[in-house]
Amino acid sequence: EVQLVESGGGLVKPGGSLRLSCAASGFTFSSYSMNWVRQAPGKGLEWVSSISSSSSYIYYADSVKGRFTISRDNAKNSLYLQMNSLRAEDTAVYYCARAADGNLYDAFDIWGQGTMVTVSS
Amino acid sequence: DIVMTQSPDSLAVSLGERATINCKSSQSVLYSSNNKNYLAWYQQKPGQPPKLLIYWASTRESGVPDRFSGSGSGTDFTLTISSLQAEDVAVYYCQQYYSTPLFTFGPGTKVDIK
Size of interface A-B (CB pairs under 8 A): 63
Q: What is the pLDDT of residues B52-105, one digit of tens each?
A: 999 999 999 999 999 999 999 999 999 999 999 999 999 999 999 998 667 899
pLDDT of res. A110: 98
Residues of B in contact with A59 (CB under 8 A): 100-102
* Optimal mutation site among A37, A45, A46, interface B, most CBs of chain B within 10 A: A45
pLDDT of res. A101: 86
B108/A45 Cβ within 8 A: yes
pLDDT of res. B101: 61
Identify which of B50, B98, B100 has the shortest CB distance to residue A111.
B50
Q: Which of residues 11-70 of A touch B (CB under 8 A)?
A: 35, 37, 44-47, 50, 59, 61-62
Which amino acid, residue A94?
Y
> Does A95 contact B at CB distance below 8 Å?
yes
Question: Residue B65 contacts by C-beta under 8 Å, 6 or more apart in sequence?
Answer: none
pLDDT above 70: residue B107: yes
Pairwise CA distance, residues B88 & A24, whole Å: 28
Query: In a structure prediction context, what are the per-residue pLDDT tens digits for chain A, which is 121 residues long?
Result: 999 999 999 999 999 999 999 999 999 999 999 999 999 999 999 999 999 999 999 999 999 999 999 999 999 999 999 999 999 999 999 999 999 988 889 999 999 999 999 999 9
Q: What is the pLDDT of residues B28-53, one digit of tens each?
A: 999 999 999 999 999 999 999 999 99
The CA distance from A35 to the nearest CA of chain B, in Å, is 10
What residue in B sits closest to A49 (Cα-Cα)?
B102
Pairwise CA distance, residues A26 & A19, whole Å: 23
pLDDT of res. A119: 98
Which is nearest to B96 in space by CA: B29, B31, B19? Answer: B29
